[in-house]
């Protein structure tokens, strides 16, 4: 992953989202140890406090848990928490934006559904 240091999204959020994606892709399983704040800081050439903030965010959401003195680990239900979060936040916002723009363009519900189906078919190959 390449961090967008000039963008609007804070670096700690980018770190958290990257770790979420790694969990979704199966690169980290339940009870696996994740990178420490210092490993993340070295990997991305960022301040360890910034990396720690990303890890803390995931712990607060129940995606990671602490083992005192050992670091942070992936929680048992991490994957489902991430799926639910992204479905309820990211996808909901995208759909709301789609519907708003479709209204501006005076598209029908059927037009929107066709666009989504065509995109889905293209994604599925």
Query: Which tens digits make up the pLDDT trace of 17-39?
Result: 999 999 999 999 999 999 999 99
CB-based contact 21:58 (threshold 8 Å): no
CA distance 79 to 103: 34
Residues facing residue 73 across a β-bridge: 33, 65
Domain positions in the chain: 11-77, 79-124
Model's pTM, two decimal places? 0.78
Alpha helices in the chain (DSSP H): 11-24, 37-44, 48-60, 78-86, 92-104, 109-124
pLDDT of residue 6: 80
Pick the closest to residue 19 from 30, 34, 39 (CA basis): 34
Q: How confident is the model at residue 1 (pLDDT cuts 50, 70, 90)?
A: confident
Report the CATH architecture of 11-77. Answer: Orthogonal Bundle (1.10)
Q: What pLDDT, in 10s, does the model give residues 64-103? A: 999 999 999 999 999 999 999 999 888 889 999 999 999 9
**Residue 98, pLDDT score:** 92
Q: Is there a contact between 57 and 17 (Cβ–Cβ < 8 Å)?
A: no
């Amino acid at each position: 992953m390449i961090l967008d240091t000039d963008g609007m999204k804070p670096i700690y959020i980018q770190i958290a989202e990257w770790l979420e994606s790694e969990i979704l892709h199966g690169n980290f399983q339940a009870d696996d140890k994740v990178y420490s704040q210092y490993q993340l800081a070295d990997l991305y050439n960022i301040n360890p406090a910034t990396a720690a903030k990303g890890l803390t965010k995931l712990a607060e959401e129940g995606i990671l848990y602490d083992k005192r003195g050992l670091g942070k680990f992936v929680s048992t239900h991490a994957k489902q928490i991430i799926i639910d979060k992204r479905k309820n936040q990211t996808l909901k916002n995208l759909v709301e934006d789609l519907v708003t723009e479709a209204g501006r363009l005076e598209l029908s519900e059927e037009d929107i559904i066709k666009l989504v189906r065509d995109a889905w078919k293209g994604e599925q190959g």
